[in-house]
Structure 1
Amino acid sequence: MAQQTLSYGKPGEPVKLVVGYQPYYTESWSGVVMRGKKFYEKYLPKGSEVEFQIGLQGSIIVNNMLAGKQHIGYMGDMPAIVSTTKQNVGDVRIVAVLGLGFDQCNIFLARKDAPNFSSPTEALKWLNGKQVAVPKGSCTDRFAQAVFKKVGIQPAAYLNQNIEVITSGFRAGKLDAAVIWEPTASRIVEEGLARRVASGFSVNENDGGFMAMRADLIEQRPDVVKAWLNAELDAQQFLADPKNAKEIIDMAMQQTTGFPREAMARALYGAYPDQGGAQKRFTLPYAFTPEAMNLITKATEFLHEIKTINVNKLRPEAVMPQFTQDILKQRGLTAPIGSVPVLSSDQLAQVSK
């Protein structure tokens, strides 16, 4: 696949954008808000058109961006990093941070008849010699392999399965464990197919969501980049406000299929024992905070170590922090711009209705 340069018109002209996003990944739900509220209409040149395309996992969005079929992508940490290392196919850059947490991507589920573990550490050690599945190439893949290394686990099989196959594997009793992201993790637990036994909180491994853009868009249309990122800031602020909880879950339900409302609400706002009493589901950095940069650095080194990418450090232009920095400055804000709170069980019940 030879690299191609797309044409987006001149600054100020209407633009046609195709946006890949993941309503099935809670940490990138600013994309759900963006599609539902159309904040971009306030900032893009008049007459612009935006098409949203759903990706079931970030690697699908990466492939579409590299092929020039999508121009902006909402994705987890691993696909975002990988996307910037394929510049011989397509030049993609990371331009904003969607969210940082410990249990949006990083959730271990065990089969429902697994032993009652006294701690998440005990649960992780139980995985030794077991059948474990993840969607490879996703943020869960990076997390699972990091945990296996950290805790010294050797599964009998480490299977590459998508979220549908994992769900049916638990249903049929063929899987011992899986690492899965929200809201699928909450749905599988709600359906009684598996139990949540550990997360990134258990091993101090964080996860993240990032926004990527094609370099030809950034080069030709800095006005569009700024417009989209201004709208993204509005979307993250909307996501951070608990007063919007019901409306956010309404939008998530409209943009997905096969998920009970309770699972969607719990995925975004629920509390779990392994969270260690955390009152935030995840933070909304928007810009590249030290935590976000540390995650990118650490994840890049790890992905090189496991031979997923061929560099141990991203090229300097792979991450472009200047746009979000400038917008925060113009709007008198600092990063992180907010966080998604844990709601009380009463509040959660209200949002789930």
Structure 2
Amino acid sequence: MKKLSTILVALTAIIASTMPLSAAEKLNKIGITYVSSPFNVPSIVMRAKGFLDDEFKALNIKVESPEITSGAKQIQALAAGEIQIASVLGGASAILGSANGVDVKIIAVYSRSPKAFFIMTGKDGSTDIKSLKGKSVAGPKGTTLHQLLASALAKNGMKLSDINHVNMDLPAARAALLAGKVDAATLAGNNALAVEEAGGKILVSGEDYIQPTTVIAVRGDLIKNHPEVVKAYLSAHKKALTFMKEHSDEALKLAADEQKISFADAKRMLEWYDFSIRMNDADVANLEADQDFMLESDMLKKKIDIRAQLIDPSAFTIE
């Protein structure tokens, strides 16, 4: 976690060397991240149905869609101008970026999904959080799953230093747990389902410990100088949400195929997510709780005004 904070502090130099977008500058291309995991159905539908390309074709702008799953790397790419829109960004990463000088604005909620995050053990593994003391737990650091692990340990009178936290992405953490190389893993989405199907057990889910809010974030100068681009993106996202509502089975089939899971598993996972984009007071409170956690964990050195980073989607006539 400290390493993540250090990386973001270093972005100050990148920001200083990056030319901001101007209102007069015509955009010929735009970088928008594509993040399909753990179960980002709107993004999967948006790509499969061509909604994003259609919106930007009307503006004569080519869409580039790098797959950047790390929140820290998305913030770094935003700061460097390599991307202009982070389509799926952890709220904590957005806060860290802003606190370290990155001009990042939140234009909408992407998802709320406390039920989609788990700490799991193997078939014959630990039976509760306290029994993880002194053992190895795999999972991605600097993420919502990291926060879940720290919160669960804290509520059981332990700290991260009481375990061996091995930094791994989700597929690697799943494989390590199934191979018996670690005692537990922090998992989400289809990786959690795969462990459960192999006989693994859920120790805790995020429902009782965290309220993760994933957001859609953009460079501040994009909002100021090219609001039509932000409007086009939100329009494509809204079309995906509408398609999910009106053609739910087809949307789930697209997501199941992308994630290489059964339709039944996709339907089960969808129940873990709320994809409505309008940010409410509870969402702001969750982001503020994330910030408090990062301050307490020494990830963050200064507090920011969360509401100052928010842009109401209605500013772009997208309800």
Q: TM-score, normalised by structure 1?
A: 0.76
Asked if 1:33 is matched to 2:51, the reply is no
Structure-1 separation of matches of 2:64 and 2:130: 45
After TM superposition, the structure 1 = structure 2 runs for residues 270-309 of structure 1, keeping only pairs within 5 Å, are 270=268, 280-309=271-300
Asked if 1:76 is matched to 2:90, the reply is yes
After TM superposition, the structure 1 = structure 2 runs for residues 4-15 of structure 1, keeping only pairs within 5 Å, are 4-7=18-21, 10=24, 15=28
User: Per the alignment, in what secondary structure is the counterpart of residue 284 of structure 1?
Assistant: coil
Count of residue correspondences:
301
Check 1:108–1:246 CA distance in 2 against 1; reply closer, same or farther (3 A cut).
farther
Query: What amino acid is aligned across from residue 108 of structure 1 in structure 2?
Result: I
Check 1:239–1:308 CA distance in 2 against 1; reply closer, same or farther (3 A cut).
farther
Match of 2:157 among 134, 147, 152: 152
Asked if 1:173 is matched to 2:148, the reply is no
Asked if 1:131 is matched to 2:136, the reply is yes
Asked if 1:196 is matched to 2:196, the reply is no
Match of 1:312 among 281, 303, 310: 303
For the Cα contact (< 8 Å) 2:121–2:183, is it kept in 1? yes
Asked if 1:85 is matched to 2:99, the reply is yes
Aligned to 1:18: 31
Residues 107-158 of structure 1 show CA distances to partners (whole Å, capped at 9, x for unaligned) of 111122125x5xxxxx233333332222111111122112222232344312
- Higher relative contact order (CA closer than 8 Å, sequence separation 6+): 2
Runs of 5+ consecutive residues of structure 1 not aligned to the other structure: 118-122, 272-278, 334-353
Aligned to 2:194: 187
Q: CA deviation at 1:298?
A: 0.4
The structure in which a higher percent of residues are helix is: 2
User: Per the alignment, in what secondary structure is the counterpart of residue 282 of structure 1?
Assistant: coil
Asked if 1:245 is matched to 2:234, the reply is no
Aligned to 2:78: 65
Aligned to 2:120: 109
Aligned to 1:325: 314
208-217 vs 35-44, which moves further: 35-44
Residues 231-279 of structure 1 show CA distances to partners (whole Å, capped at 9, x for unaligned) of 22222233345x423444425634xxxx5322x752x4317xxxxxxx9
Structure-1 separation of matches of 2:307 and 2:245: 31
Structure-2 separation of matches of 1:94 and 1:245: 30
Structure-2 separation of matches of 1:55 and 1:2: 18
For the Cα contact (< 8 Å) 1:100–1:207, is it kept in 2? yes
Q: CA deviation at 1:302?
A: 0.7
Aligned to 1:276: none
For the Cα contact (< 8 Å) 1:99–1:283, is it kept in 2? yes
User: Per the alignment, in what secondary structure is the counterpart of residue 115 of structure 2?
Assistant: coil
Query: What amino acid is aligned across from residue 176 of structure 2 in structure 1?
Result: G
For the Cα contact (< 8 Å) 1:102–1:206, is it kept in 2? yes
Structure-2 separation of matches of 1:177 and 1:36: 35
Structure-1 separation of matches of 2:95 and 2:243: 26
For the Cα contact (< 8 Å) 2:41–2:251, is it kept in 1? no
Check 1:237–1:8 CA distance in 2 against 1; reply closer, same or farther (3 A cut).
farther
Check 1:310–1:193 CA distance in 2 against 1; reply closer, same or farther (3 A cut).
farther
Structure-1 separation of matches of 2:301 and 2:80: 20
For the Cα contact (< 8 Å) 1:111–1:175, is it kept in 2? no
Aligned to 2:108: 96
Aligned to 1:348: none
Percent identity of paired positions between Structure 1 and Structure 2: 21
Structure-1 separation of matches of 2:250 and 2:203: 28
Structure-1 separation of matches of 2:245 and 2:283: 18
Check 1:129–1:71 CA distance in 2 against 1; reply closer, same or farther (3 A cut).
same
Query: What amino acid is aligned across from residue 299 of structure 1 in structure 2?
Result: D
For the Cα contact (< 8 Å) 1:65–1:71, is it kept in 2? yes
Query: What amino acid is aligned across from residue 53 of structure 1 in structure 2?
Result: P
User: Per the alignment, in what secondary structure is the counterpart of residue 183 of structure 1?
Assistant: helix
Q: CA deviation at 1:14?
A: 5.6
Query: What amino acid is aligned across from residue 25 of structure 1 in structure 2?
Result: P
